[in-house]
Structure 1
Amino acid sequence: MAGPGLLERTPSTKRPPVRSWLKVKVRALLNLRRLLALLLVFAATLFGGYLALVSFHDEDRLSVGEIRMSIDPGHKGALDVYVPLVDWGARFEAIRAPLRVKVDLQTIDRTVAQSLAEGKSLDVQQVRREARDALANYLRKLIALVVAAALVLGLLVAFAIRSRVPRLRWTSLLAIVTSLGIGVALVVLIPPRGEISDPQYYAHGPDIPRALEAVEAARRTSGVLDQELDAQLVGLARLVVAPGRRRSLADQPVITVASDLHNNTVGLGVLERLSNGGPVFFVGDLTDRGSQLETSLVRRSAHSGKPFVFVTGNHDSDYLARALAGEGAIVLTRTGRMREDGTTDKRLVHTIEGLRVAGYDDPYERRSAESFKDRYDSVPDPVEQDKFTGWLMPLIGKVDVVMVHEPALIAPALQILKDKPPQQPLVFLVGHTHKADLQKQPGVTVINGGSVGAGGTGNLSEPTALGIARFVFTLKPSFQPLAADLVSINPGTGSSSARRERLDPTG
């Protein structure tokens, strides 16, 4: 029999001590507690700074009136100058932080307004200095307050959760460093940098074109009171009073330029309101396929302007073009104006609203005989580009406006015109890209209003603004482009903006 000594030496399975396992668990919990405490202090510091940023505003009085300055975060960086009384303003994209510095003109000094009405001039340099000082003072106060609020809330949370894990000196140091970091970021990112130019006019409703007209139509006895927001007023704008310096746009002919509805009939209502019974030049893609059903949806577009001038896009069809011609629309093609039966009058240039207009139907438009199948090519090939250039060149000097859906189609022709500018102004109206754009070169202007259908009913996954353009011109003593307004409307909120570009040589 085995003795007791032998039994004691029998091998057995060893288990880790319970105490070691508990130490590992406690250490993990302590580390998690440290991390959560630090994150809480960090978040509280950021939140304190954010509260101060969005809540602080300041008022200051300039010689022209009283302004209110505030911050609106969560937007593309910009400086907004806004007049609540008339619900319009100007936006300068001169700030790198994702927020808008808002300057609202609350009141206008009655004495200044009266002196302007009597023909007296405004001391622009004084307004510049006052505005610069007001904005700089506001930003200094804002940054100091944000840093202080961030530090206070961060330290309060640090003291509220003070314990040995983590120690107070670490949480308080985190609050101090974070607050200072916020201050440095604000100093670097908020103040406007570089030249403040190219204002984008905006309003909170769909009536921005009327606001633009109001700016141009302001008058006084000695001539035109031309008001504009100028790039030289640091952080704000300058009010320029220069009577008679520019040609007034009041009472000048205007056409509405639109394209790319893509069956979104909501855009037709906007088009009808903005055209206000005036001429509409539609540069293709009323539909997605140009089928009979789609044509019935958009047929009313032929009556959205007087007249309604149309060229096809790659998403339109010969069936749609004939239907619009039957409704009284002026449907232009490379061989002339289309009749309801599909034939053309062979006249390449037609006089419309005093303008000499030609249109080029899209080479990839769909055909009813082919069941409206897709004939789209992403980029027109050189053969199609050469066809367009060969069609256009004999018309130079005989035409004022050329309508063509695809911008890439006209690229070689633009290069030729750049090397040899036309003697008389020439304007191209294009579409297709769904992005508003304005290009200028000597003697030539290219206007793209964007997508009046906000990308269309088949483009709901990509946020696209509803875009439209207004082209202002004069016929006296001869055709001369004066201005282009690129109007953008948010289809969700109805808020709108517009960028006005002067096209006349004195603009």
Structure 2
Amino acid sequence: MGDQEHEQPEHGRQAETPARRQRRFSSLRRTGAAPRRPGRLTGVRRVGVALAVLVVTLAGVLLGTLAGGQVGTDIGPFRAKLSLSPAVDGGTTVKIPPLGALLLNSHDGPTQLTVELGALDQSRVEALLDDPASLNRATQSAVDEVHEGVLRLGLRTLGATVLATVLLALLVFRNTRRAAWAGTLALLITAGSLGTAATTIRPQAIEEPTYEGLLVNAPAIVGDVRKIANDYTRYAEQLQRLIGNVTQLYTTVSALPVYEQEPGTTRVLHISDMHLNPTAWQLIRTVVEQFGIDVVIDTGDITDWGSEPEASYVGSISLLRKPYVYIRGNHDSGRTSAAVARQPNAIVLDNATTTVAGLTIAGIGDPRFTPDKSTSPAAGGPIPPTADELTATGEKLAATIRSAPTPVNIALVHDPVIATPLSGTTPLVLAGHIHRRQIDQLPEVPGQQPTTLMVQGSTGGAGLRGLEGEEPTPLTMTVLYFDQEKQLQAYDTITVGGTGQAQVNLERTVINPPPTPLTTPTPTPTTPTPTPTR
């Protein structure tokens, strides 16, 4: 009986039918299983799992860095964005839209830091202006703000990479143990990269930047960087006085008794050569509001290089909410003109006329595009137009003015040389280009009306070029007053001291009407009285 029971299992295994055996192997094939053979390919399998964990970890670190490796922070009055990205050589990129970027060899390692300066915080700027001592405190605290922002950025990146890696590992492996290994490895990789950057940091790298974008040309434009830094230091120290004096300028305008504006007076603000100076817009907006400006006229060089990134600078035109008549300068490209034309209140003239606020205005763009020395013949660039060719541009505009259906009140050119052929075609020509204000009478043409040429200085203080000389270039603009017959009756010249200076001047000039010619009576013929003879 016992022998029968002992042999039963063996008898059962031997009794397995071919049909049952076929079903068992079919089940193994469906589940992907294979007969287990102890010790076979165990080492290869472990290496494969380790490589898979490493690949998933690197992917998680990359995704976590791109998704979470960025923070916003305040640096002085600026709102800045700090971000980290994988890189071979490390370093720091400081982006300054729309001018370009500075590349700093600040550290080693596979991590690159990007600092992008955004818009100014208006409330913080006003707070700085209200307390002059806070300007120095803001400069000193900027370093601490950068350190704090970088620290928060590092911690945020560390957390983001570990979280992204764990989630990715769970999705791929569906195994908590492997996900934990991947998360730990991500922590070590990220911490090691950040630690390498921290231990190899070179603070002196900021003294030797590499320029990118528009800033490539900055050294050639501004000259000695130390001198420019000193000028900007002086500017910060006297900024409070500058704002105070500008305020006094606008509040005292109403007390000027020289010129009484008549009803129906049209006020025109003439600006020119802003050269990307952002402070010019605030001054323009203030003048537009305080003087009740009806039309703004810009005679060119609103940008410096005519590039696509500079197009954002012209966006402030729409904030003026007044008609803005513009002609292209030699620093403005076709893209610049197109960007201006996209503003809802802008009118771009190029050998054309328009009527705004009752004034008929004609204008033509500068035929040149010479933003830097690379466009000169010596540098292999195109040959710029000669004086004769500039004169030919003026003759084209003169023909347009003569054929206009209504008399032209104002003509616009960028370079004063272009204005010469316009003598007698219009009473007033506005120009810019030379960065200094001057008023001349064009040579009179017999039988034609006299023409006045008013050349504006630089409303942007010549941009960075304004710091080249011993004295910075002032910011200038002019308010023109036209009567109901659209004749110029008076003008105010406004001058704001350049960088590092705080004086503000306003001078009003009233144009005396030409004297009325006296009518000479026609002599009546008389019979000569004979001379008595003796």
TM-score under structure 1 normalisation? 0.45
Which is greater in Rg? 2
TM-score under structure 2 normalisation? 0.43
